[in-house]
Amino acid sequence: MSTLAKIVDLDLPTIALVGRVNVGKSTIFNRLTESNKALVSSIPGTTRTSNTGLCIWRGKHINIIDTGGLTFSDEVLLEEDIIKQTEMALKKADVVVFVTDIKDGLLPQEKELAKLLLKKKKNCPVILVANKADSPSDRAQKYDRDWLKLGFGHPITVSAQNGSGLGDLMEEIFKHLKKTKRQPIVLPDLNPIKVALLGKPNVGKSALFNKLIGEDRVIVSDMPHTTREPHDTLVEVDGEHILFIDTAGIRRKAKVGGLLERMGIGKSIETMKRADIVLFLLDTSSPITDQDQQLGGLLRESTKSVIIVVNKWDLSEDNTDSFRNDVREKIMKYFPHIAYAPIVFISAKTSYRVHQIFPLIKQAWEERHIELSEETCEEFIRHVVKQHLPSRGKGINHPKILGFRQINANPPIFELFIKYKTSLNISYVHFLENRLRERFSFFAAPIIIKLTKSKRN
C-alpha cells in the first residue's frame, strides 16, 4: 500500500447549510442524512468543524455539509477557524441553504451573512429557510416583509424537530440542481475499511486525521475538546477505499466539562462501534494514564482491530531503535489486554512515519478476515494438545478437549469444545490464542475463544 491517500471525489452535487448559531442547522443535517452524526444542543457554537454526509432523495445521492454557526464576533472561541470552514464549504457548494430561525426573526448576524451570500449568489443559488416553524402560526410568519431585506425572497418554512417542510426543501434543492453540472446519482456500495481515531483530548487525533487524508478538513487547536463530533472522509489508497473517522477526545468522567463534552464522548464510543480498525493514539510527551488504560480495555471489549499510534515522536530526545523498543515494552506492560496491537511511532506535526500507517491498516484488514477450515482447526488443536496438555480450572475433573472450530471472521471467533463436567484453566485459553497467532498471525485483531461443554466423547 503506497503512502499517498487521495480523497475520493464522488462527483456529487453539494449542498451547504449555513447560518448563525442555534438556528438548527445540525438538526436539519441529521434529518436529511438520516443519521445522528451532528451534535445537537441549545449551546451556541456546538458545531465547529464542518460535517459532511450523504442525503438520498428520490433514490439519488447528494452531498450535504453542515457548517459551524457564525456569530461575527471575535470573542467567540475558534470563530476565525469556523469562518474559514464555512468559506471552504461555500466554495464546494452547488446550492446554499441559508438557515434562519423563524421564532427569532432577523438578527444582525443574518444581514452580515446575507452580504457574503449575495456575492456567492452570482455563481450559486441560495435558498432561504426559516427553521423552527413548528406550528401554523409560526409558518404564517414567512410572509413578513422583513425577510425580503435579505435579498432571497420569502423563506421556505421547515421544522427540523418534526420534519415538516423538509420535503418541500428537498424539491426546491433538486429543482436548482437540474441546472448544475453535477447531477444527483445512485452511488455504488464501496464498502470501505472504516478506521476510527481514538484517544484522550490533545493527543493529536485531528492533526493526524488531516495528514492521513491529505487535507486540512478538521480544526486543529491546543484547546482541549476542539473536536466534538465524528468527521468522516473517504480516501483511496492503491485502489483500496478507507473511511477515516476523527472523534472527540475521551477523558475520565470526573474531568468531563459540561454537556457538550459528554455528548461528544458518547459520539466517539458510538463511532468506535461502527469502525473495523481503531488507531489508538498515545502522546509521547505525557505519561500513560488510567484513562489511557481504560480506553485500552474498551477497545478489547469492542473486538476491533487495534493499531497503537505513539504521536509527537518529534518531541522525543532519543530516536534510537533501542529507546523505541524500551518504550514499546513499557506500553505493552500498560496494555496487556491489547498485546496483539502493533505499535507505530509517528509525528502528525512533521509527518514523520505517518506513511507507515497505511500498510498496517491493509494488513490488519486482511488478517481480520482470515478463515480457517474445519480440517485446519482440528489439525491445529491436535498438535497443540500433544505439545501441551490442557490444565484444570476450578473443577475437580481434568479437562478433555473434544473439538475446535472457527465460527466467525471479522473478528475471528473460535469455539472450543471440552468434556461435560470438566473445567479448563483460563491460562490454557490464552496459550491457545498465542499458538493461533504464532501459526496464523491474525495481525492487530483480537481472537475470541468461546468454551462449550459437550456430552459427546
- Report if residue 19 sits inside a domain: yes
DSSP 135: S
- What does the alpha-carbon distance between residue 138 and residue 186 come to, in Å, rounded to a whole number? 36
For the chain, 457 residues long, the average pLDDT of each consecutive 10-residue run is: 72 92 89 66 45 88 86 57 78 93 90 84 87 93 91 94 94 94 88 90 87 73 43 86 78 43 52 88 90 85 94 90 93 94 95 95 97 97 92 71 95 94 88 96 96 80
- What does the alpha-carbon distance between residue 396 and residue 399 come to, in Å, rounded to a whole number? 9
Q: What is the pLDDT of residue 205?
A: 87
Domain that holds residue 44: 11-177
Where is the domain boundary, 177, 201, 231?
A: 177
- What does the alpha-carbon distance between residue 46 and residue 68 come to, in Å, rounded to a whole number? 8
Dig out the grid coordinates for 107 from the structure. Answer: 438578527
Residues 412 and 281 in one domain: no
Q: What is the pLDDT of residue 394?
A: 67
Residues 81 and 45 in one domain: yes
The CA radius of gyration of the chain, in Å to the nearest whole number, is: 26
- Report if residue 139 sits inside a domain: yes
Residues 303 and 389 in one domain: no
* Strand-strand pairing, 448-454 and 413-419: parallel
Q: What is the pLDDT of residue 402?
A: 93
Q: What is the pLDDT of residue 217?
A: 62
Q: Quote the distance between the C-alpha of residue 310 and its chain's center.
A: 19
Question: What pTM was estimated for this model as a whole?
Answer: 0.77
Q: What is the pLDDT of residue 408?
A: 96
Q: What is the pLDDT of residue 190?
A: 82
Where is the domain boundary, 368, 393, 411?
A: 368
| 202, 261 contact by CB (below 8 A) | no
Q: What is the pLDDT of residue 273?
A: 81
Residues in the chain: 457
**Structural domain total, the chain:** 3
**Residue located via cell numbers 491460562:** 427
Residues 235 and 215 in one domain: yes
Q: What is the pLDDT of residue 372?
A: 97
- Report if residue 450 sits inside a domain: yes
Where is the domain boundary, 323, 350, 368?
A: 368
